[in-house]
A and B are shown apart, each in its own frame.
Chain A
């Protein structure tokens, strides 16, 4: 049956106090934003929306993202989704080609993201933490 060494290694890895990997309690220089009409989604709900989990109550919440190579995008993946850029793309390939979902809409700049969020209530996007928001948008992550 299962090799004892593999089981031991697995248990060690699961219990590994992952200082680097944790996305909790780290200084955040990114904000996740939606329209003021939207509910205040928590971190788990934001993850579900960005990972295409077809959860009830989260329908029609369009997630928008920045293109590959963008620094803000990388920060968002690491700090909010807790996954590397490569793994997020690999995950979305699986979702797309198994017919389970479509990846978030890619907008090339933060300015386009801002316009999209203003014109599409309930959509969700992210920005660098020092971004000034119009009154129609609110920050849902981090929570103060």
Chain B
């Protein structure tokens, strides 16, 4: 009997995650079934995208990327459905639901906004929107839209808030040979964020930004600045700041927790460019992340990608770099016996902080083998040198993927 039970265990391990996503999957399948009919009968249009990504790395637990030596399809595979309802000639409602296989990512509504075309050149979006931090941040789930399997982590790992609730205004300007798009947004965010497969609960007082994108013939350039104020952030993988306060306040050291609590302002700057020709392209982004927090580092990162297109095959190479730096944090708590506990806790907080330099080279290929479908394969060599006691790490990651839009 027991033997039978244990034989069934691997089967249950597969079924339970599937059941957890069954609602999302069922909704998507139902909606997709009616896609063709809906498109013919009304102004309601459905479209969608999916990706099946498998990845494996050379080593386990290197913490420099999300895979380990056991191949998995869970981390980046997803399916999504977008519905566009044209309410009036200048007003539309768009919603996008995404179902992730990754348990750390919340499946469900990713976008829900009203799109109002105020005049020929100005568009206003209102609702739950994607945060436009980077060149590809608003299509991060749409792997079909970019060359790599995963955009360079050195830059895109700092993409904390994938969506926000607020307003976004886009204004287009046209010249003879050039055009420009000005974009401004403002709103709030309250919810969990995932970074390196670790979850934190975050509440922002506000989030806002402005970007300019200019296109001149084959060259597109983008500059953006994003600001925000973090009201509260609690990593789920460490004791809460409220719990820490219970140790520090009785010895009159509560102010130390005030100083390390994850709250304050941040500025996120971005520069990007893309130069596209028929058979090759060059693209890159540079970012700088600055804030008042002491537990997490400020960072500067960039990537540069060269791509060569041969018929339906794309070959690309990317170099990416991330440099972190931490604010000074020293343990000045007295060595007296009564402070031993808080001193040890405080030292642990200091030791939890990690900063360093991460560098990667990715070589990849993409084959657009059919209309709206592509196969991809990427290999990345990552090296991470730390300024803190965490040992230096090198790792190699292999990913293969199938991308689909419909």
> How does the 8 Å CB contact mask read for B18-36 relative to A, with 1 for contact and 0 for none?
0000000000000000000
**A48 contacts B174, CB within 8 Å?**
yes
| A133–B368 CA distance with the chains assembled, in angstroms | 34
Min CB–CB distance A45 → chain B (angstroms): 8
**A94 contacts B217, CB within 8 Å?**
no
- Assuming the contacts A21-B278, A87-B309, asked whether A57 and B174 have C-beta atoms less than 8 A apart, the reply is yes
> How does the 8 Å CB contact mask read for A10-42 relative to B, with 1 for contact and 0 for none?
100110101011010000000000000000001
A83 on the interface (CB 8 Å rule)?
A: yes
| A84–B278 CA distance with the chains assembled, in angstroms | 6
Partner of B174, one of A55, A87, A98: A55
Interface of B: prevailing SS: strand
Partner of B172, one of A10, A23, A55, A91: A55
| A15–B8 CA distance with the chains assembled, in angstroms | 62
Stretch of B119-127, B184-192, B251-259, B327-335 at the chain-chain interface = B119-127
> How does the 8 Å CB contact mask read for B279-297 relative to A, with 1 for contact and 0 for none?
1111000000000000000
**B306 contacts A69, CB within 8 Å?**
no
| A129–B123 CA distance with the chains assembled, in angstroms | 37
* Residue among B142, B277, B304 facing the most chain A CB atoms (10 A cut-off): B277
Residues in B with CB closer than 8 Å to A89 are 144, 368, 371-372
> How does the 8 Å CB contact mask read for A98-137 relative to B, with 1 for contact and 0 for none?
1110000000000000000000000000000000000000
Size bracket, chain A contacts: 35 or more
Which chain B residues have a beta carbon within 8 Å of chain A's beta carbons?
47, 49, 82, 94, 96, 111, 113, 115, 120-121, 123, 125, 130, 136, 138-139, 142, 144-147, 170, 172-174, 176-177, 179, 181, 215, 217-218, 275-282, 302, 304, 306, 309, 311-312, 314, 319, 366, 368, 371-372, 374, 405
